[in-house]
Structure 1
Amino acid sequence: MRKNKLYILIAIAFCFIGFSCSETKPIGFPPVNKNVTPEAKQLLEFLYSIQGKYTLTGQHNFVSNMERYDSIVHNITGKYPVVWGSDFSFMAQGDNINQFQHCGPMNLTVPYDSCIFNNRSISDLRQSLIDEAKKKYAEGRIITLMWHCCFPTNGDECNGDDIWRWAKNLPSAEEWDQLVTNGTALNIAWKNQMDGVAKYLKQLQDCKIPVLWRPYHEMNGVWFWWCNKSGENGFKKLWIMTYDYLTNHHKLNNLLWVWNTNAPRDIEGDEAGPYKDYFPGTDYVDILAADVYRQDYKQSHHDDLLTLGEGKLISLGEIGQLPTVEQYELQPSWSWFMTWGYFINRNYDLVREIYNHQQSITLDEIDFSNNEYKLIPQLNTN
C-alpha cells in the first residue's frame, strides 16, 4: 500500500514540475513571434495538423471587386475556397496603366475588364479590403494578404514601371544600402509607407483576426524592385527589417510570416534564382511559399522548399493554372494553394477535379466553431 502511495506522489510531482499530465506536445514549430496572438497561434497549429495530409483551397480577389472570383469558384464547383487572398496594392498612374492591370491596381477595374479608373480613394479602397476580410473571417475563411508596393519614395501612387523594374533597372547597390540603413531619407520613406499599411493590419488585430502575411513576394525573380538581391546584405536584410518594424515597432502580433518565392526557373530575361540565396532563416519565417505559373509544378519546387524549411510548413502562395491530379498527388505537403484571380477561368474541368479531390479541403469541410479552425469531425480522424 505504501509503495502505491509513493508511486502516486511521484506522478503528482512530475506533473507539478512541468511534465503536465494533461497537456499534449505542441504540433509543429512555434510561431517566430513569441508574442503572437492566440488566434494566430491556433491557425498555425491547425495548418501543422493537416501537414502532408490535406491542402486547403484558396483564391485571390482584387480590391476593386472582392467577391468576383470566389463566385466563379462556386459557380464551377458548388464550393467555396478556404483561403481568401487580396492585396494592399497601389494606385496606378501614367499612360501605360493597361500594362499593369493584370495585377489588380486598386484604382482600376478588375483585370481584363475595360481598363478604366474606378475613382475611389486609397483610404476607401483599403478600408473596404479590411471590412471584407472581417466578413470572410466570420465565415471561417483564412485570410492571406500581400502587397504590390511602389518604390518607397513614391508612397502608394506610381507608374507600374516603378514596381516592375526588371533586371536592368533595379535599385543600385547604393540605393539598396540607403534603404536598409536606419535613418536615411530612403529608409524614412520606407517606414512611412509601412506605417500606411500597418494601421489597417492593426484593425484586423483589434478584431482578433490572424493574417497569413506575405510581403515582397517572388524576391528571387528579376522583375520587382525588391527582386534579385541575394546574399546577407540583399533581400534577407529587407525581410528582417520589415519583420522587426512591424513586429517590434508596430506590435503586430496577428501576423504569420509567409516568405513567398517564385518557383526557380531558367528563362532568359525572366529568371528566378535558387530559394536558398534569398532565405532569411527559420527565425524569421513561419511558412515558406512558392508561386508557380505556366503549370510548371516540378517536384524540386516542392521538395527543395521542404528541405530549406527544415520541416516548416510550405504553401503555394500564388498559382496560375491548377496542377494536374498527378502533380497534385505527388506534392502533398502544400498547406494551401491560392489561384491568382482570373486564372480560375483557364480549365473548368481541372478546377472541378482538384476541388473535389480527397486531398483538397473546401470551406464546407471546416469547423470554425469558437473561432478556431478545425476539420469537420469525419475528416479529423487522425
Structure 2
Amino acid sequence: MRRIRPMWAVGAALVLLGALLAHHPTKAEAFPATARTVVIDYLRSITGTAVVSGQHNKEPASSPAQYTQQARNVTGQFPGLWGGDMMFRADDQANRQRVIDEAKAQWAAGSLVALTWHACSPTVGVTCEFDGGVKTQITNAQFQEIVTGGTALNTTWRNRMATVVPYLRQLRDAGVPVLWRPFHEMNETWNWWGGRPGANGGAKIFQQMRDYFGSQGLDNLIWVWNVQDNPAANWSQYYPGANYADVVSLDVWWKSHPSAADYQQIQTVAAGKPIAVAEIGKMPTAALLTAQPRWAYFMMWSEHLLGNNTTAEIQAAYNIPRVLSRGEISLSGGGGGGGGKIRAVASGRCVDVAGAGTANGTQVQIYTCDTGGAAQQWTAGSDGTLRALGKCLDVAANGTADGTRIQIWTCDGGNAQRFTYHAAGRDIVHAGSGKCLDVRAEATADATPLQLWTCNGKANQDFLLPS
C-alpha cells in the first residue's frame, strides 16, 4: 500500500562496504526470453535455501528505477527483483510506457520483474488521486455490480482492464515473465476491492481478471495473490484458489517483520506454492531469514528503503549469504518447458495446426491464440521433437531448401522432425538442415504458413516455446 510514514534519519554519507560484497558477483547475466513457468520453477527451487532481494519503485512513473538505483548506491549491488506499478494519477498513467521499458531493461540486465496496480475504482474516473480514487470505499452493491457481467460498472471495469493489456502484451512479446500482483492487501479495507471475504468477494474479482487477461493471451503473467499482516486471521477466506494463484504473498506493515504465526498461516494458504513478502518497510535480518527460510523473495517498499532503514541495515541485508541480488539468479530452461503454446513473437499469434487436422501433411501456420484448443498445444520432447495432436512437427520430404513446407506427420524419429530451440536468439532450428522455422513473407495474418528458411535473425523467425 502507498503510505506516508515518519522518516528515520539516514546517517552520514553512503559508504560501500567492499569486504562485505565479496560473495556477490560483479557482473549480471542477461536473461533471454523466458516462459513464466521457468520463473515459477526457479522460485520453487530456491525455497528454503535462498531469497531474492527486491525493490519497489513507486511514482513518479517518469522515474521508474529511482529506488532501485538508491539500493545500488548504498550496497554496490542491484536488487534481484525490480518492482513497478501501472499507476493511477493522470501524469503517471501517461508514463506507463516508461514503466514497461524499464521492466524490459531490468529483465534484460538480469533482474526478475514484478508489477502491481493501484487501480482507480470503477466508480470514479479513469485517472484519480490515491485518496478518494484507490483508497476509497464502495458499497457491497457497487462491488457486486463490478463483478456481475453486463452491468454498467462491470463494463467500466473491463474497459479499465483493457487499457493495461497492450502494455502487458509488450512484455509478453519480449519474453518477459511478470510477477503480477493485482488487488493487493485483499483482507484490508483501505482499498475499494478489499475486506470482502468469500466466493463473491475479493476472490471473485481476482479470478475474473485472470480469466480476462488469459483470454487476451497474457500467458507471461505469474499471478501473485496478496494479503496484509492485519487483520491477522482468516486469510484463506480471500484466496481465489490454487488454479488462480501462482505465488502467495504477504505485506508486512503492522510489524517490522512477519511473525511466526504470519509465516505459518501464509504457508498453510499456499499449500506448497512459492511464498513471498511482497511489501515490507524494514530490511530482513539474518536471524529472520534463518527462522523463516521459505520466503522466495522480499520487496522493500520505495521510500522506506532510506526512510526506515540505516545504511548499515541495508548493507547487512544485501550481504546475508542466502540473499540473492542481480547476477546471482540462474534461470535454467530458457523458454522451453512442458506442453503449451508456441508464440510467433512478431505477430503475437500462435503456431497452429490448420483446422486442427490430424492427417499427415496438414499445414502448420500461425493463428490467433485460442484458450486451450489442441491445435495450439505443443510438447517439446527430449528427442528434439515438437508434438501436437499426437503428431510431430515435420519438414516436408525432409527437405533443406528455403521455402520448404512445415507440416505435421506421424512421429518417426527422423531428422525431419528434430529441432533445437535457441533461447538467446528465440529461433527454432531444424537439425537436418541447420535452417530456421520462418513465418512466410514476414506476414502476421491468420493462416500464414510456416516454412524452412536460412536463419537471418529477422523477427519472423522469433518464437517463444511453450509456457
TM-score interval (norm. to shorter): 0.7 to 0.9
Question: Could you tell me which of 248, 264, 267 is aligned with 1:306?
Answer: 267
Corresponding residue for residue 73 of structure 1: 71
Corresponding residue for residue 366 of structure 1: 329
Corresponding residue for residue 219 of structure 2: 253
Structure 2 Cα separation of the partners of residues 300 and 201 of structure 1: 35
Structure 1 or 2: more strand by fraction? 2
Structure 2 Cα separation of the partners of residues 328 and 368 of structure 1: 22
What secondary structure sits across from 1:157 in the alignment?
coil
Structure 2 Cα separation of the partners of residues 354 and 254 of structure 1: 30
Equivalent residues of 1:317, 1:337 under 8 A apart? yes
Return the offset for 1:370. 8.2
Question: Could you tell me which of 47, 52, 67 is aligned with 1:51?
Answer: 47
Q: Say which is worse superposed, 363-372 or 211-220, in terms of deviation.
A: 363-372
Amino acid at match of 1:304: Q
Give matches, 1:1-382, under 5 Å.
39-62=35-58, 63-91=61-89, 107=92, 122-123=93-94, 125-160=95-130, 161-165=132-136, 170-248=137-215, 250-263=216-229, 265=230, 271=231, 273-293=233-253, 294-345=255-306, 346-367=309-330
CA distance 1:227–1:201, shift in 2 (3 Å): same
- What are the superposed Cα offsets for residues 8-54 of structure 1, whole Å, 9 maximum, x if unpaired? xxxxxxxxxxxxxxxxxxxxxxxxxxxxx961111111111111110
Return the offset for 1:368. 5.9
- What are the superposed Cα offsets for residues 87-127 of structure 1, whole Å, 9 maximum, x if unpaired? 001116xxxxxxxxxxxxx54xxxxxxxxxxxxxx34x011
Return the offset for 1:372. 7.0
Q: Identity, % of aligned pairs? A: 36
Larger relative contact order, structure 1 or 2 (CA cutoff 8 Å, min sep 6): 1
Return the offset for 1:334. 0.6
Equivalent residues of 1:153, 1:190 under 8 A apart? no
Equivalent residues of 1:73, 1:81 under 8 A apart? yes
Q: Report the TM-score, using the length of structure 2 for normalisation.
A: 0.61
What secondary structure sits across from 1:84 in the alignment?
strand
Count of matched residue pairs: 298
Equivalent residues of 2:52, 2:298 under 8 A apart? yes
Structure 1 Cα separation of the partners of residues 165 and 172 of structure 2: 10
Structure 2 Cα separation of the partners of residues 52 and 208 of structure 1: 28
Equivalent residues of 1:82, 1:363 under 8 A apart? yes
Structure 2 Cα separation of the partners of residues 291 and 357 of structure 1: 21
- What are the superposed Cα offsets for residues 284-327 of structure 1, whole Å, 9 maximum, x if unpaired? 11000000124042011111111111111100111111123322
Structure 1 or 2: more helix by fraction? 1
Amino acid at match of 2:274: L
Q: Report the TM-score, using the length of structure 1 for normalisation.
A: 0.74
Equivalent residues of 1:84, 1:141 under 8 A apart? yes
- What are the superposed Cα offsets for residues 343-370 of structure 1, whole Å, 9 maximum, x if unpaired? 1112221211111011101113134688
Equivalent residues of 1:258, 1:287 under 8 A apart? yes
Corresponding residue for residue 9 of structure 1: none
Amino acid at match of 2:82: W
Equivalent residues of 1:297, 1:323 under 8 A apart? no
- What are the superposed Cα offsets for residues 218-273 of structure 1, whole Å, 9 maximum, x if unpaired? 0101200111011111111111111111112x12100010001112x3xxxxx465
Gapped regions of structure 2 (runs ≥ 5): 1-32, 337-467
CA distance 1:366–1:323, shift in 2 (3 Å): closer
Equivalent residues of 1:221, 1:273 under 8 A apart? no
CA distance 1:356–1:232, shift in 2 (3 Å): same
Amino acid at match of 1:67: A
Gapped regions of structure 1 (runs ≥ 5): 1-36, 93-105, 108-121, 266-270, 374-382
What's the Cα RMSD here?
2.0
